Amino acid sequence: MQSPSPQPSITASSKTPAAGAALHNTWGYYAAFIALGLSSSVVGPTLLNLSENTGSRLNEISIIFLIRSLGYLIGSVQGGRLFDRIPGNRMMVLLLVGMSASLFFVPLSTSLWLLAALMFITGTTEAGIDVGGNTLLVRVHGEKVAPFMSGLHFFFGLGAFLSPVIVAQMIGLGRGITPAYWILAALIFLPVLWLFRLPSPENQTAREEADTGRSDPLLVAMIAVFFFLYVGAEVGFGSWISTFAIAREAATPTAAAYLTSLFWGALTLGRLLSIPVSVRLRPGTILLVDLLGASAGLVIILSGSHILPLLAAGTFLTGFSMASIFPTTMNLAERRIALPGRVTRWFFVGAGLGAMVLPWLIGQWFEPLGPQVFVWLILAAVAANLLLYTGIILKPVRRAIP
């Protein structure tokens, strides 16, 4: 799952580093976000193999989603403080080394609890890199950060697309998942060689956030729940679609891994195309189209889950439609309420909890109720968000801006 992360209180300096240093740092953070994407999407297409390695059932191994998301939640909260106290590039290097090392040992784990511990480390380092990339890019580019930030999240999607392709290639060659994880660990380490030699952008210590206005607590809660359901649906889909395809006998393990890649590829394409669209359409309109499109994609999967072309079409439409939901919702929230840090943190708490709960819940019910429960749970989350969307749009605004 990848979305904007809570950032430490920083104020971008009007003075940015020299053009050459800024460019070098920017490409370093882009490489780090490719690494983040590689890590984020590898578990789904290898879940059955990890289950076999640890001798655990699907409802048991789904605990790793819970543990990984717990690590991500803790890493998100602590990451901002660390990037305020430690030079940013040095911190990114440490996190990339930790993420690479944890993934190297994942396929060697024969104990579920050892695997869970590695997933906790992975989640914590992923969160730190997520926070760091967003924060450091602001320090480098200041007020001109917007297009560079869009690029940052595009490169995350690129990494998330490539990871299942590497897994599929290794499985297709009969080499299993161990070489795939080792290749990914090596690729994740590569940005270390770039960032290690670069000076960190200057940290402009921020004054405490001023209160920019009173925010309606009910509206804040509604948006936080919206993020809980959306991020849970995105992470749940990306984590379970390959297992679902195999269980429905619609795809071989290799083809199922490509389905995961198709989902992340569609998400990446959608993010790229949403940049010009966001200039022309209102956030409410974009969000409604996104939610309806994701619902249609899930209905296609339900109607033809045993037919690979229909499953692929539904997967693509779901991923493409989900692409801009998170940033569009943030944009909509900015128009409805004041968003100081004390408010936005609840959005990210909701997102982190969603990534933790829904994939785990799918694992608990996947075998007892059958594979279809995967699609029904994701569809229920999207349908609930349609109701919340209506409430958010219709609720009267109570916002005070000085």
Say if residue 276 is in the same domain as residue 161: no
Tell me, yes or no, whether 192 and 239 share the same domain. Answer: no
Same domain, 243 and 382: yes
pLDDT value at position 397? Answer: 63
Neighbours of 282 (CB within 10 A): 13
The rounded distance, in Å, linking the Cα atoms of 256 and 249 is: 10
Decide if 358 is inside a domain: yes
Residues 240 and 154 reside in one and the same domain: no
Query: Which pLDDT does position 398 carry in this prediction?
Result: 55
Give 205's strand partners.
Answer: 10
The reported pLDDT for the residue numbered 134 is 72
Based on the domain organization, do 243 and 334 belong to the same domain?
yes
Q: What is the per-residue pLDDT for 137?
A: 79
**Domain match, 320 and 374 both:** yes
Question: Which residue segment(s) compose the domain that 129 sits in?
Answer: 18-198
And the tokens for 35? Answer: 């690494």
Residue 37 lies in a domain: yes
Q: Which of 169, 198, 227 is the last residue of a domain?
A: 198
Residues 130 and 35 in one domain: yes
Query: Where a domain ends, among 175, 198, 221?
Result: 198
Residue 1 lies in a domain: no
pLDDT of residue 394: 85
Q: Check residue 272 and give its pLDDT.
A: 85
> Is residue 379 assigned to a domain?
yes
Q: Is residue 13 part of a domain?
A: no
Separation between Cα atoms, residue 86 and residue 8, nearest integer Å = 12
Instruction: Report whether 181 contacts 274 (CB < 8 A).
Output: no
Domain final residue, candidates 139, 164, 198: 198
Tell me, what's the pLDDT at 28?
Answer: 92
Q: Beta-carbon neighbour count of residue 397 at 10 Å?
A: 9
The CATH number of the domain holding residue 38 is: 1.20.1250.20
Is residue 205, in this structure, part of any structural domain at all? Answer: no
pLDDT of residue 298: 96
Residues 149 and 225 in one domain: no
97 and 127 part of one domain: yes
pLDDT at 341: 47
pLDDT tens, the chain, 402 aa long: 454 444 444 344 444 445 667 888 989 999 999 999 999 889 988 988 999 999 998 888 988 988 998 898 888 777 767 877 888 899 999 999 999 999 999 999 999 999 999 999 999 999 888 878 877 877 787 666 656 766 777 888 889 889 989 998 998 888 989 999 999 999 999 999 999 988 888 765 444 344 444 567 888 899 889 989 999 999 899 889 998 999 988 888 888 888 988 998 899 898 888 877 877 788 889 899 999 999 999 999 999 888 899 999 999 999 999 988 877 787 777 677 765 545 666 776 787 788 888 988 998 898 889 989 999 999 999 999 999 999 988 877 654 433
Contacts of 293 (CB under 8 A, 6+ apart): 317, 318, 320, 321
150 and 232 co-located in one domain: no
Please state the domain count of the chain: 2
